[in-house]
Amino acid sequence: MWFTRKGAINAAEGELGIIPGSMGAKSYIVRGKGNPQSFCSCSHGAGRVMSRSAAKKQFDSDDVEAQTRGIECRKDSGVVDEIPVAYKDIDQVMAHQHDLVEVVHTLRQFLCIKG
């Protein structure tokens, strides 16, 4: 079984892929529905709502600690730009592409390796 994780996920009919959330959110294993209106593709992740520089200005490592409690990951100043609140809500992202992919499995985040 092969999974893809790259730019736009190939959502050709029957193709499996993974759509990750932020370092503090769940991810999804999906099966493409082959929708030609999306060129048989779908989103490749949650996507940012805040730039890296804005996140660094607004948050610190204490905020990262609070937002990733229960997840084994770096929580230092070097990953503040990856704070979960800087990303879109992955559940909303998935809801917007229900016509592109079928959720096969939901993965709960418990470990995140960054840089």
Residues assigned a catalytic role: 44
Return the closest-CA partner of residue 100 out of 39, 20, 27.
Answer: 39
CB within 8 Å of 94: residues ≥ 6 apart: 19, 28, 101, 103
What is the distance between the alpha carbons of residues 97 and 114, in angstroms, rounded to a whole number? 27
CB 86 within 8 A of CB 22: yes
Q: What are the structure tokens assigned to 101, written together?
A: 């992919």
DSSP string of 90-114, one letter each residue = HHHHHHTTTTTEEEEEEEPP-B---
